[in-house]
Structure 1
Amino acid sequence: MFSRYKEFYKKEVVPRLIKETGYKNIHQIPKLEKIVINMGLGEATSNSKIIEQSIAELAKISGQKPVIAKARKSIAAFKLRENQEIGCFVTLRDKKMYDFFDRLINISLPRVRDFKGVSKKSFDGRGNYTLGVKEQLIFAEISYELVEKIKGMNVTIVTTAKNNEDGYKLLKSFNFPFRN
């Protein structure tokens, strides 16, 4: 099984980055390491049914079973108890990562209402990019009729880039839709 975007990386992105950055060794070129999709569910403190729905939706979107995030300590102001389920996340690598990245760029992001591109400012200083999605309905796998509550999520693209410029060049060479 091959991934379309993995082949694209090897055949087009690597030569383009060698030309742009001037790296001599092919192993210096930044690449995608993993993609983490996180759904923080603060309202799960009052309604535990939301966690189950979110896990099912995140499993459909990512293609693998999510891990449940639990509270580390109790916070009375938020009505939060230790070990209470407050979210879910999934870490994608290799083929599933490239397949999700392909669907995110070519199918999901263009479905966002009034989409003009994503900000260049969401890099963390080490070449990793985090993107906030306001509703899960942009993913084609989610049926509008079955959704009871619209939930957002964070998509973090972790790269091997050493700085933001290299991370930006990597994502730009994948045709990531940055704002001009």
Structure 2
Amino acid sequence: MEPEPPTNATRERPHTESSYGIPEDEDGLLPWEFVATRLREHRTVWLSTTRPDGTPHARPVWGVFVDGTFYCGGGERTWWVRNLATNPAAVVHGESGDEVVIVEGTANRIDDGTGNPGLVDRLNAAYREKYGIEHGTPFFAIRPERVLAWHDYPDDATRWTFA
């Protein structure tokens, strides 16, 4: 369980125009566990990357949420893997438009867990548990820089920003 975000996170309301009706007070902000649970449970998420020509690219992918980071992997010839090689900016969005979790971050390639012994083994174990298969490598770690979430919009719209 990951009941709290990393200590470098600030939780607040998203900033947008007033016509959306997002409350200004902090009553009803979602707990981090809402985000962690959805990312652990979503079988498929949408991953958005940017092509070398600057146009957007979105694909459904499988992934696991381990130690506060979303990990996914793909073949070397997939467009999204090639896109991340030139621009590591990524957005992950669950399938639901009602129980929303949007993770914005930077993808880092993980080939062998260098610097984190056993990481690839733990990721493959998480894949086996969730999907019944091992993934292998490469994995991509998408560490949150900004997360938006809600399930009773606009009343519980919540944003986490990571330092």
TM-score between both structures, scaled by the size of structure 2: 0.29
- Of Structure 1 and Structure 2, which has the larger fraction of its residues in helix? 1
| Higher Cα radius of gyration | 1
